[in-house]
Chain A
C-alpha cells in the first residue's frame, strides 16, 4: 500500500466574526499551505473541500470555492462532513494511484449562518424536527446526563475538561476562547444552557478555515524532511436515531479506533500514542471519548481527568491546542485536529508544544448529534 503523509498545513486565527468571506478564508489557508510546502497550485492533483450547503446558504457550496481553494480546472470534490472525513477522502484518492498530492480544506463561518439551526435541520422531518425538542445542545445534555447517571460522573469532573482545554488554549495563537485563569467553579457557575451543559462546557461559535496537504511518499520526501505519516485510519457511523443509541458511550468511535489501531499495529494505545487531539464539542464528550479510545476503562473517564494524566505535561496529553472548546469552525474542527497532531510531531506547536517527545499521535473528527459519526487517524513522524 502507498505510504501517505501530511506534508504541509495552515491554520488561521479563529474568530467569532471574521467580518470577511468564506472565499477569503479558504484562499488564505490554501495559499499558506502551498507556501509551507514550497509547491505551486499546479503541483496539486486533487482538492477536497469540507463544507456545507446549509452553512453557506447556497446549493453545491463548493462551486464558488473552486477558485479560492486552487482547484480551477482540477479534480475537485466536496464532502458535507467534518474536514477529517475530507482528509480520509483525499487519502483514498492518493491510495488509488491516480493522484499524488492532495489539498484538503475545511471551513465555515458561524457569523454568517443562523447558529444551531443547521443542527435542527439535520433532524428527522417527520418526528423530531416538528416536535421541536432536540437541538445540538439539548441532545448533548441528554447524552451528558445519561453518561453521568450510568457511571456516577460528576459535574465537577466534566468542568475539569473545560478548565484544561481553555487553559491550554491560552498558549495556542489560533484559539478564539482563551481562559488562562479559568477555575472549575467558573465553569460550574457559567450560564446554564440545557442542564447539565453550561456555557463554558459548550463550543464557541467560530469563523475559520484549515488546510493540510497530503502527498504520496516519493513526493512527500521532495516536499519536506518532516513528513507526518498516516499509519492508520478508521471511521464508523452509528444510527441516526438518538433514541436507539447507548448515549453513555460512543460505540462508533470505539469501532473507528479499533480499525485505525489494527491498521497501524497499535496494541497499547495508552503507551504507543504520545499526543491526542480530540473533537469534543462539549466537555463531557471528551470523557466519553477517553473511554471509547481505550485511554481508560469504561466508566473511568472522570477518574482519568482527575488524575491529570491528560494535561499537556502528563503521559497522555489530550488537546494541548485547547480542542473544539477553544475554537470550533464547524467542518474544519476535525481537520484542525490532524493539523495539530502534525505540528506536535514536527515540533512546530510553539508555546503549546508538549514537553515530552512526540513521535506519534491520534487525531479524531466527528459529525452529527452526540457524535453519530466518528473518524480516527493515527500518525507518526520519521
Chain B
C-alpha cells in the first residue's frame, strides 16, 4: 500500500555523463579500415569455417581463433525486417513517434554466415519481403567509419 507520506515526493533528476574509450580490437580495426576502401570484411573460423560479420577474434562455438579474412557482400539477403513507427528517445529514454518510419533489417551478406542489422531505403514498405536481395549504398565520402555504410537498397 502507498503510505500517505509517500505521495507528492519531489523527484530529483540527476544525470550521469560517462564517456568511454573502447578499444575496438584488431578485427574491428581492420573492418573499419576496409570501410574506407568500400569493402565489407568478415573473418572465418579456422575450425568450423563460419564467416562472421562484424569480424571478431574468436568463434564462440568452436572456441577457436578466427584467422582468415573474407570479403563479404556488397549484396546480401534480408532474413527479417521491421519498421519503426516509434524510436527510443536517446536523450531521456521512452518512445517518441517517428514521422518517417525507418526500415531495419537483419541482412545476411553474401559469403557471410551471420547477419548484420542495418537500414533499408529506396523501397516501399509494402514491397518488403524476407529473402529479398539488397545491396550496400556507400556514403559519398568514406572515412573508415561506421557511417561509411549509408544504407542498403533492393538489388534491381
Chain A residues proximal to chain B, CB less than 8 Å: 13, 18-20, 24, 57, 113-117, 120, 124-128, 130-135, 137-138, 141-143, 145-146, 149, 191-197, 239, 241-244, 247
- Residues of B with C-beta under 8 A to A24: 6
| Residue interface bits B1-45, CB-to-A below 8 A is 1, else 0 | 110001111000010100010101100100000000000000000
18 extra A-B contacts, CB within 8 A, seeds A20-B6, A116-B88, A244-B115: A19-B7, A116-B93, A116-B94, A117-B93, A126-B22, A126-B28, A127-B116, A127-B146, A133-B102, A133-B119, A134-B104, A137-B95, A138-B82, A149-B80, A194-B83, A195-B85, A196-B82, A244-B52
Of residues 73 to 108 in B, which have CB atoms within 8 Å of A's CB atoms?
A: 79-88, 90, 92-95, 102, 104-106, 108
A142–B118 contact, CB under 8 A?
no
A193–B6 contact, CB under 8 A?
no
Choose among A19, A194, A242 the residue that contacts B85 (Cβ–Cβ < 8 A).
Answer: A194
Residue B130 at the chain A interface, CB threshold 8 Å? yes
For the complex, give the distance between the alpha carbons of A244 and B144 in Å.
Answer: 24
- Residues of A with C-beta under 8 A to B46: none
Residue B122 at the chain A interface, CB threshold 8 Å? no
A57–B22 contact, CB under 8 A?
no
For the complex, give the distance between the alpha carbons of A149 and B77 in Å.
Answer: 14
A194–B86 contact, CB under 8 A?
yes
A193–B95 contact, CB under 8 A?
yes
Given known pairs A117-B93, A126-B54, A149-B80, the reply for A243 and B115 (CB within 8 Å) is yes
For the complex, give the distance between the alpha carbons of A197 and B84 in Å.
Answer: 9
* Minimal Cβ-Cβ distance residue in B for A128: B117
A243–B114 contact, CB under 8 A?
yes
* Minimal Cβ-Cβ distance residue in B for A192: B85
Given known pairs A19-B2, A243-B117, the reply for A116 and B28 (CB within 8 Å) is no
- Residues of B with C-beta under 8 A to A195: 82-85
Choose among B2, B9, B104 the residue that contacts A138 (Cβ–Cβ < 8 A).
Answer: B104
A131–B146 contact, CB under 8 A?
yes
Nearest CB in chain A: distance from B93 CB, A: 3
Nearest CB in chain A: distance from B115 CB, A: 4
* Minimal Cβ-Cβ distance residue in B for A202: B95
* Minimal Cβ-Cβ distance residue in B for A12: B1
B106–A146 contact, CB under 8 A?
yes
B94–A57 contact, CB under 8 A?
no
B contact residues, range = 35 or more
Choose among A117, A125, A243 the residue that contacts B116 (Cβ–Cβ < 8 A).
Answer: A243
Given known pairs A126-B54, A127-B54, the reply for A241 and B82 (CB within 8 Å) is no
- Residues of A with C-beta under 8 A to B146: 127, 130-131
B114–A244 contact, CB under 8 A?
yes
For the complex, give the distance between the alpha carbons of A124 and B31 in Å.
Answer: 15
- Residues of B with C-beta under 8 A to A137: 84, 86, 88, 95
| Residue interface bits B107-149, CB-to-A below 8 A is 1, else 0 | 0100001111111000000000010000000000000001000
* Minimal Cβ-Cβ distance residue in A for B8: A19
- Residues of A with C-beta under 8 A to B83: 194-195
For the complex, give the distance between the alpha carbons of A141 and B25 in Å.
Answer: 30
Given known pairs A130-B146, A194-B85, the reply for A239 and B106 (CB within 8 Å) is no
B117–A131 contact, CB under 8 A?
yes
- Residues of B with C-beta under 8 A to A115: 93-95
- Residues of A with C-beta under 8 A to B22: 125-126
Choose among B16, B82, B88, B116 the residue that contacts A120 (Cβ–Cβ < 8 A).
Answer: B88
For the complex, give the distance between the alpha carbons of A18 and B6 in Å.
Answer: 9
- Residues of A with C-beta under 8 A to B54: 124, 126-127
Nearest CB in chain B: distance from A120 CB, A: 6
A127–B28 contact, CB under 8 A?
yes
7 smallest beta-carbon distances between A and B, as pairs: A114-B93, A243-B115, A141-B82, A146-B80, A142-B80, A115-B93, A149-B130
- Residues of A with C-beta under 8 A to B53: 243
Nearest CB in chain B: distance from A154 CB, A: 15
Choose among A114, A125, A142 the residue that contacts B82 (Cβ–Cβ < 8 A).
Answer: A142
For the complex, give the distance between the alpha carbons of A131 and B105 in Å.
Answer: 13
Choose among B82, B106, B118 the residue that contacts A194 (Cβ–Cβ < 8 A).
Answer: B82
- Residues of A with C-beta under 8 A to B60: 239
- Residues of A with C-beta under 8 A to B118: 131, 133
- Residues of A with C-beta under 8 A to B20: 125
B85–A142 contact, CB under 8 A?
no
For the complex, give the distance between the alpha carbons of A113 and B53 in Å.
Answer: 33
B81–A133 contact, CB under 8 A?
no
For the complex, give the distance between the alpha carbons of A137 and B22 in Å.
Answer: 26
Choose among B7, B9, B106 the residue that contacts A142 (Cβ–Cβ < 8 A).
Answer: B106
B2–A133 contact, CB under 8 A?
no
For the complex, give the distance between the alpha carbons of A235 and B9 in Å.
Answer: 41
Task: Determine which residue in B8, B20, B85, B108 has the highest number of CB atoms from chain A within 10 A of its CB, and name it.
Answer: B85
Nearest CB in chain B: distance from A157 CB, A: 18
- Residues of B with C-beta under 8 A to A196: 82
- Residues of B with C-beta under 8 A to A127: 28, 54, 116, 146
